[in-house]
Amino acid sequence: MGKFILALNIIDGPLIVASYVLSVALCAFLLMRRTRKPMAMTVLSGAAGAAVGAVALLVAERIMHAFGGPLGWPVRIWAMAFFAGLGLCGANLRASGTWRKVLAAVAALTFAATAALGINAYYGLNATLASFLGVSLAPRIDLGPATPHAAAPQKPLWETWKAPAGMPSEGSTAQVVIPPQISGFSSRPAGLYLPPAAQVPNPPALPLVVLMMGQPGDPDPQHAAEVLNDFAAHHDGLAPIVIVADQLGDPLVDNLCLDSPLHGRPETFVNRDVVDWARSHLNIIDNPKYWTIAGYSHGGQCAISFAAKYPSIWGNVLDISGEEYPGAENPETNLREVFGGNQAAYDAEKPVNILKQQRFPNTPAIFTASTDDPVYLEAARHVSAAAAAAGMDVTYYEVPDGGHGIAALNGGLNKGFEVLFPRLGLSQPAS
């Protein structure tokens, strides 16, 4: 029963619809008072709450830059509706009976839950109650040592691979624990996607993708699985093996993807511990040409930074709606707390400056952002231009009206793998 509840759809399923209906009913009850004057005061309290919410949101978004960029109008409307609801609840706590006070308190919690579900539905990244709560429903598995694998196939897999009878029609997902043997970094279990071709007797060695999600966010492999299952269905079950690594540890803390005394060693974790674990536990092609570092939002910045710093590891990079540089949403605080006020040290960690240090021939780099996501769109334009100037083979793509949510992520993953599949030997190159 617990797993059933956690698997409930909270984007457009019955749970969110019930939340909307209950909120409307409670709002109607709170507005109904016996005399006209108290009702007028209740309405005014709701309007005052909405006004307070609008001002608070304006300060947080435009002055404090608390959200890393402009919010969509649906988010603003949900926030103001929540504060208006709190105003109604507050008015009903004054000069009222016990039951009305109890229902006002229940309504406040219901309004909070409904606003959270509404905002989550707008972004669309957490499709189930489990993902909203940061709980993975993928089974946790322990993988033994992998068999030795070749550095690179003599011919691309699309030429040599034939899907055997009985191969699963879709890939599988799981959770795996990656020990931080070198970094000591405290991470959550990583997500793992194994395509259909990886689930047959004597499977071929496959390309590797290490994907990092946004902040806050979870190392959930489901998004990559949904996109790659479609690719695999059109390519005889072939797709990369994907590790969705947790570069955050604490989802509420932006560690900048940098090793630091303040936040630990996430950079070493991804580029040493995750890499070493992949080599020793997965049937992958051990060659940078077949390895991709990828990320969305916070993870997108991590991806291009790691590709620029570690070209001997990562032969391809996919930056989906990535930040322009570490901690771009709050640079003053990061400069002070992480870099001790050393602006030169901070600037040295910005991808556009790292890319100036060397050339990157034969390194495909895909940058995507949504047409209606101005902060991240400008970041993609700026960083992709720096990557092209550094010799990377750049693909720049704008996702139509994807915002900064699931449409942007899916659009970026689809475009990225469209470009990468021929490079990785998984599909025939265009003539």
CA distance 395 to 363: 11
Q: What is the mean pLDDT of residues 136-151?
A: 73
CA distance 318 to 304: 7
Q: Which two tokens stand for residue 83?
A: 């504060």
CATH code that applies to domain 138-423: 3.40.50.1820
pLDDT tens digits along 379-391 = 999 999 999 999 9
Q: Which two tokens stand for residue 347?
A: 């600037």
What's the pLDDT at 37?
47
Does the pLDDT at position 35 exceed 70?
Answer: no
Lowest mean pLDDT among 50-54, 87-91, 248-252: 50-54
Is cis: bond before 216, omega within 30 of 0? yes
Which among 230, 401, 418, 399 is positioned nearest to 316, based on CA atoms? 418
What's the pLDDT at 52?
67
CA distance 368 to 350: 18
Which among 59, 53, 45 is positioned nearest to 76, based on CA atoms? 53
Give 104 or 301, the one with higher predicted confidence: 301
To the nearest 10 degrees (0 to 180), the angle between helices 36-58 and 14-31 is 130
Which CA distances in Å does 316 have to 28, 367, 428?
A: 55, 11, 18
User: Domain coordinates of the chain in residue numbers?
Assistant: 2-123, 138-423
Q: What is the mean pLDDT of residues 119-148?
A: 79
Taking all residues of the chain, what is their mean pLDDT, rounded to a whole number? Answer: 89
Residue 289, judged by CB atoms within 10 A of its CB (0-12, 13-18, 19+), counts as middle
pLDDT tens digits along 182-213 = 999 999 999 999 999 999 999 999 999 999 99
pLDDT tens digits along 239-296 = 999 999 999 999 889 999 999 999 999 999 999 999 999 999 999 999 999 999 999 9
The pLDDT confidence band at residue 68, using thresholds 50, 70 and 90, is: low
Does the pLDDT at position 310 exceed 70?
Answer: yes
What's the pLDDT at 50?
56
Torsion (CA) 211, 215, 219, 224 in degrees, nearest 10: -50
Longest alpha-carbon distance in the chain: 84
pTM: 0.87
Q: What is the mean pLDDT of residues 334-345?
A: 95
